[in-house]
Amino acid sequence: MDLQHLLFILALICANDSLSASDDLLQWPQISKCRSPEMETFSCFWTAGNFYNLTVPRILQLLYKKSNEEDWKECPDYITSGQNSCYFNASYTSVWTPYCVQLASKNEVYDKKCFSVDEIVLPDPPVHLNWTLLNTSQTGIHGDIQVRWDPPPTADVRKGWITLEYELQYKEVNETKWKELKPRLSTVVPLYSLKMARDYEIRIRSRQRTSEKFGEFSEILYVSFSQIGIVCDHCTEEVEFPWFLVVVFGVCGLAVTVISIMLSKQPRIKMLIFPPVPVPKIKGIDPDLLKKGKLEEVNSILACHDNYKTQLYSDDLWVEFIELDIEDPDEKNRASDTDRLLSEDHLKSHGCLGAKDDDSGRASCCEPDIPETDFSASDTCDATSDSDQFKKATEKEEDLLCLDRQDNDESLPNLANPDPQRQRRNTQSENSHLWAPFGDSVESPRPSVHTQISNQNSLTSTDFYAQVSDITPAGRVVLSPGQKSKLGRTQHEGCTEQNFTMDNTYFCEADVKKCIAVTSHEENEPRVPEQGYNEDGYFTTESLTTTVANLGASTAAPPSSELPVADYTSIHIVQSPQGLVLNATALPVPDKEFNVSCGYVSTDQLNKIMP
C-alpha cells in the first residue's frame, strides 16, 4: 500500500507539473463545434486560446466556403450566437451542401473544419413539460402518470422538415441515477408505477431521428403527488416484494414435487421426469456374475493372451503366417480386435477375418466342420473378408494365441504377474470367479476400462482374441484371425464342461486344454478334445465382454499349466449364436486346476456341453 501511495503522489506531482507547464504554452484558437438546431440555420463556436501574453491582440475571423465556390468569405454574423461564434442564417444555409470554415487571423489559419449542415443537427430541448395522473393502484401506493411536452419551437416538425426523437429520463428526487426510456417519436409518454409517497424529476432531450447525438436536456419537471392533493393512507408503508419468502416457498415446493415424483408409484411420471439412465451393460455378461467373481481369475485368463505376442516371434513355425502391421500402430490401436469386439457391430465380423490366405489355415475357419470354435465364422466368413480386419487379426493372433508361454520366460507386464498368484489362491473357483474381474471392471467406470484397453493395445498393439478355426490332427488349434497354435504339450486335465463360459470367452491354451480335456468326455464334438491337446489358446473372435477383454488386456498373465484354471459357469442365457451369459452359481467346479488363466469355450462347444 505504501508503494501505491508513493506512486499516486508521484503521479499527482507529475500531472501538476504538466498542467502548469501547459499554461505556459500558447493555446491555439480552435473551432469547438458547429451546430444547427433546426436544419435551417447554423452556428459555429470557437475558443480564442490564450492570447493574453501577446502584445498585439489578434483578431480572429471565421471564413467559410461552400464546396462549389472558390473564395473564402467572412462570417456574416458574429453577434447573434454570442461571443466567439458565427451565425449563419437561413439565407446563408444550404442544407446538403458541403461547407468548410476556417478560423484565421490576418496571416494564419488556426483551425479548419468541413461539414454539411445535415450532419451537425442538434435540436433544442423540448418545452412545456407537464404531467397528469392517469390512475392509482388499489393500495394507493403506486400511481401512473402521463408526461406531455412540446417539440422545440425552432424545429419545424409540423411541416415535416425535421423529424425528432425524444428521450425521457426520470428519477426520484433523492436518487442520483437517472432512469432512461427508449427514444420515441411521440410527445406523450406514460410513466407507470411511480411511488406516490416520493417526488420525481423528469427531463427530456431530443435528436434528429437518424442522428446519434442528442441535444441539450430540457428543464427538469418536478412530479409531486402531494401537490395535487392525493392523500395516501398507507403511503409510508413500503411493501417490497417478499423475495425471501418467494425463494423459500419456491424451493420447498420444488423439493416436495421432486420427492413426490420420485416416490410416486406412477412409473410414467417418474419416467418422464427422471428418465432411467442406462447402466453400462456388457452384452452377454450378467453383471451379477461379474460382481461375485474374482478379478484375478479373469485377469489371468485374459492376461495370458498378452504374452503370446512376444512368444510368437521366436516361433518361426507360424511366423510366416503372421502379418503384423506394426508400421501402422494407429490402425491397430484404432480398430484393434478389442475395440471391434467392444462394439457390437463387429460381433460377426470377428467370426472369420477374411480367410484369404490359404496357407495360414484361416480359410478353414469357413469350413463347416469347425463349428465349435466358429460362432459365427461360417456366417461371416465370406462377409468379412476385410483385408484390414485380416491384418489386424493377424497381428492380434499373437496375443490371442495362448501358447505355452508359461514355459518360457517372457517379459510379462507387471500387472500380469501378480495375477497368476492370485489365481492359484482361488481354489474355490466358483463359476462366478471367472466373472469376478468382470464384475469389478464392470463396476469400474467405463472410460478407465477403455483406457485400459487402449493402453494395453498400445502396449501390445494387438488384441488377444482369435477364434479357433481348425484343429489339426497333430492337436494344434488353428486360430483365426489369430495365429495358429503352436505345438505344445497336451494336457488332459479335467475341467468341467459346465464351466465353459461362452460368449466370447477366451482361452489360454493351457487352460483350455485342461478344460477341453475334462469336457471332452462329455462333449460330442470331436474337435474339442483335439483342442484340449493344444497348448495353444483358443479364442473367440466374437465380442467377448469388454471387461473381459480389458481385464485380459490390462492384466496379462502368463498362461501356465500351473495356473489354476478358471471356473466355467453354466449357460445362463443364450443371447445370440455368439454369446452366452453364464450362470455364476449354476455348477460347481470339480477341478480346481481348471482355474484357467484364460479359458474360453466356443459357443458351439458349450452348446454341446450344456443341455
Partner 1 sequence: MNTKGASLKGLLLVALLVSHMLLIKEGVTSLPICPNGSVNCQLSLEELFDRAVKLSHYIHFLSSEMFNEFDERYAQGRGFIAKAVNSCHTASLTTPEDKEQTQQIHHEDLLNLILGVLRSWNDPLVHLASEVQRMKEAPETILWKAVEIEEQNKRLLEGMEKIVGRVQSGVVENDIYTPWDGLPSLQLDDEDSRLFAFYNLLHCLRRDSHKIDNYLKVLKCRLIHDNNC
94 binds partner 1 (CB under 8 A): yes
Phi, psi dihedrals of residue 15, rounded to the nearest 5°: -60, -45
- Minimum gap (Å) between residue 46 Cβ and partner 1: 19
Decide: 83 and 46 in contact? Cβ < 8 Å. Answer: no
Choices 28-36, 113-121, 199-207, 440-448; region in contact with partner 1 by CB under 8 A:
113-121
CB closer to partner 1, 95 vs 586: 95
102 binds partner 1 (CB under 8 A): no
- Minimum gap (Å) between residue 218 Cβ and partner 1: 21
- Dump the DSSP string for 350-385: TT---TT-TTTTGGGGGSTT-TTT-SSHHHHTTTT-
- Minimum gap (Å) between residue 283 Cβ and partner 1: 30
Query: Distance between CA atoms of 29 and 45, rounded to whole angstroms?
Result: 11
Query: Distance between CA atoms of 65 and 105, rounded to whole angstroms?
Result: 16
5 binds partner 1 (CB under 8 A): no
Verify cis geometry, omega within 30 degrees of 0, for the bond prior to 481: yes
156 binds partner 1 (CB under 8 A): yes
Check residue 28 and report its DSSP letter: P
* Residue selected from 160, 267, 275, 447 as contacting partner 1 according to rule CB under 8 A: 160
* Residue selected from 128, 184, 209, 356 as contacting partner 1 according to rule CB under 8 A: 209
Decide: 530 and 471 in contact? Cβ < 8 Å. Answer: yes
CB closer to partner 1, 144 vs 156: 156
CB closer to partner 1, 90 vs 246: 90
* Residue selected from 34, 122, 147, 157 as contacting partner 1 according to rule CB under 8 A: 157
Choices 110-118, 134-142, 384-392, 551-559; region in contact with partner 1 by CB under 8 A:
110-118
CB closer to partner 1, 67 vs 132: 67
- Minimum gap (Å) between residue 183 Cβ and partner 1: 13
100 binds partner 1 (CB under 8 A): yes
Q: For the purposes of burial, counting CB atoms within 10 Å of the CB of 595, is it exposed (0-12), middle (13-18) or buried (19 or more)?
A: buried
* Residue selected from 114, 252, 269, 326 as contacting partner 1 according to rule CB under 8 A: 114
CB closer to partner 1, 90 vs 319: 90
- Minimum gap (Å) between residue 116 Cβ and partner 1: 7
Which runs of E-coded beta strand occur in 156-228?
A: 164-172, 179-180, 188-195, 199-208, 221-224
Residue 434 CB coordination number (10 Å): 33
90 binds partner 1 (CB under 8 A): yes
Q: For the purposes of burial, counting CB atoms within 10 Å of the CB of 265, is it exposed (0-12), middle (13-18) or buried (19 or more)?
A: exposed
Long-range contact set of residues 208-213: C-beta below 8 Å, sequence gap at least 24: 208/39, 208/121, 208/123, 208/162, 208/163, 208/164, 208/165, 209/163, 209/164, 209/165, 209/185, 211/121, 211/122, 213/122
30 binds partner 1 (CB under 8 A): no
144 binds partner 1 (CB under 8 A): no
Where on the chain is the footprint of partner 1 (CB under 8 A)?
A: 39-40, 67-68, 90, 93-98, 100, 114, 116, 118, 156-161, 163, 209-210
